């Protein structure tokens, strides 16, 4: 049986060799000791979950922006199937979600984890509808680079924000702990049922995980609609993780001494990791982004 991480009644949950410890971390001031514990847990398990990373007002504002974009720019949303739609370039159409990238609670942790050369990489929005499908179309996988022999090249960090409550009855994010490090040689196809952790929590929960960790979306037959934001970070000195999300000039030209100095430094960078975030060179450059993404996933699934 899989274990469940329920974030409905705590700020952060940390695992230790002798059991779980609940830590209530007040916002916005976070003690260095808290960051140290979070980093230790992240390095061991490959993920942490942070409750109340977004306020109710922020969640309402984000969902309003999504509703507007769905109505005004429906062609910008990529439908993989009847259960999943996604958009990767929303921040190019509106500044309404810029604050999510710079969220002080999560960015504070990431600055301590990655360092001051942290860089923004990609911003996706996903909406999962009720479905009778038994599992996500990607199944168990690692992000960025699907080829098993290149797994050690994956170094970026993902953040998933829950915009809707996620209970045991809802679609949820599911992860195989330690597959970024101690269990890094595990193949996605060898994952055993019951070894996963299902991360549950109220709207506003942020799940921070290493892209090298094996994970999947777990589908529930009677789930409500689930909305999530996916923000990716890495560091300067690496190629950009994905070219799907354009970095708007308004972000690159921001002059805010409170932000990491290189946060938007990959603006205009042409070097992209050879993975699922890169447009294959044989595709027509004029092909719409959504068609290119669909083709990348088709080729990747065929190889796998």
pLDDT of residue 21: 37
pLDDT of residue 280: 86
| 124, pLDDT greater than 50 | yes
| 8, pLDDT greater than 50 | no
The DSSP symbol for 272 reads B
Taking only the tens place, the pLDDT of each residue in 152-169 is 999 999 999 999 999 999
Long-range contact list for 132-136, CB < 8 A, 24+ apart?
A: 132/221, 133/81, 133/83, 133/219, 134/219, 135/216, 135/218, 135/219, 136/84, 136/216, 136/217, 136/218, 136/219
Least Cα distance to 163 among 66, 78, 63 occurs for 63
pLDDT of residue 293: 85
With vertex at residue 40, the alpha carbon angle to CA 101 and CA 153, rounded to the nearest 5 degrees, is: 65
| 215, pLDDT greater than 70 | yes
Report d(CA 73, CA 304) in Å as an integer.
33
Confidence bin at 289 (pLDDT 50/70/90): confident
CATH of 3-303 given 3.40.50.20, 2.60.120.620, 3.40.50.10490, 1.10.1200.10: 2.60.120.620
Report d(CA 210, CA 142) in Å as an integer.
9
Q: Which of 59-68, 98-107, 132-141 has the lowest mean pLDDT?
A: 132-141
Burial class (CB in 10 A: 0-12, 13-18, 19+), 131: middle
pTM assigned to the model: 0.88
| 28, pLDDT greater than 50 | no
Average pLDDT on 249-262 reads 96
| 17, pLDDT greater than 60 | no
Report d(CA 184, CA 267) in Å as an integer.
31
| 129, pLDDT greater than 50 | yes
Average pLDDT on 61-67 reads 97
| 14, pLDDT greater than 60 | no
Q: Which of 17-21, 207-211, 251-255 has the lowest mean pLDDT?
A: 17-21
| 254, pLDDT greater than 60 | yes
Confidence bin at 6 (pLDDT 50/70/90): low
pLDDT of residue 5: 66
| 7, pLDDT greater than 80 | no
Average pLDDT on 11-35 reads 48
Confidence bin at 285 (pLDDT 50/70/90): confident
Tokens of 217: 């979306």
N-term to C-term CA, the chain: 27
| 16, pLDDT greater than 60 | no
Q: What is the mean pLDDT of the chain?
A: 89
Domain boundaries, the chain: 3-303
């Amino acid at each position: 049986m899989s274990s469940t991480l329920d974030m409905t009644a705590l700020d952060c949950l940390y695992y230790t060799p002798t059991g779980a410890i609940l830590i209530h971390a007040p916002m916005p001031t976070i003690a260095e000791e808290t960051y140290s514990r979070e980093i230790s847990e992240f390095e061991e398990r490959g993920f942490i979950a942070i409750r109340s990373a977004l306020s109710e007002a922020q969640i309402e504002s984000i969902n309003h922006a999504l509703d507007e974009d769905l109505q005004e720019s429906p062609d910008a949303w990529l439908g993989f199937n009847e259960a999943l739609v996604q958009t990767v370039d929303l921040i190019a159409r509106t500044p309404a979600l810029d604050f999510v990238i710079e969220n002080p609670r999560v960015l504070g942790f990431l600055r301590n984890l990655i360092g001051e050369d942290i860089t923004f990489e990609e911003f996706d929005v996903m909406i999962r509808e009720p479905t009778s499908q038994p599992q996500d179309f990607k199944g168990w996988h690692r992000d960025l680079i699907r080829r098993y022999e290149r797994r050690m090249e994956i170094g970026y960090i993902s953040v998933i924000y829950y915009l809707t409550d996620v209970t045991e009855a809802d679609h949820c994010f599911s992860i195989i702990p330690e597959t970024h490090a101690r269990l890094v040689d595990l193949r996605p196809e060898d994952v055993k049922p019951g070894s996963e952790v299902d991360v549950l929590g109220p709207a506003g929960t942020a799940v921070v995980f290493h892209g090298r960790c094996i994970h999947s979306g777990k589908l529930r037959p009677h789930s409500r609609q689930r909305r999530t934001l996916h923000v990716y970070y890495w560091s300067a000195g690496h190629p950009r993780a994905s070219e799907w999300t354009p970095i708007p000039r308004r972000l690159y030209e921001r002059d805010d001494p409170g932000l990491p100095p290189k946060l938007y430094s990959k603006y205009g960078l042409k070097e992209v990791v050879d993975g699922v975030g890169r447009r294959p060179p044989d595709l027509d450059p004029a092909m719409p982004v959504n068609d290119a993404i669909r083709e990348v996933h088709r080729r990747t699934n065929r190889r796998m």
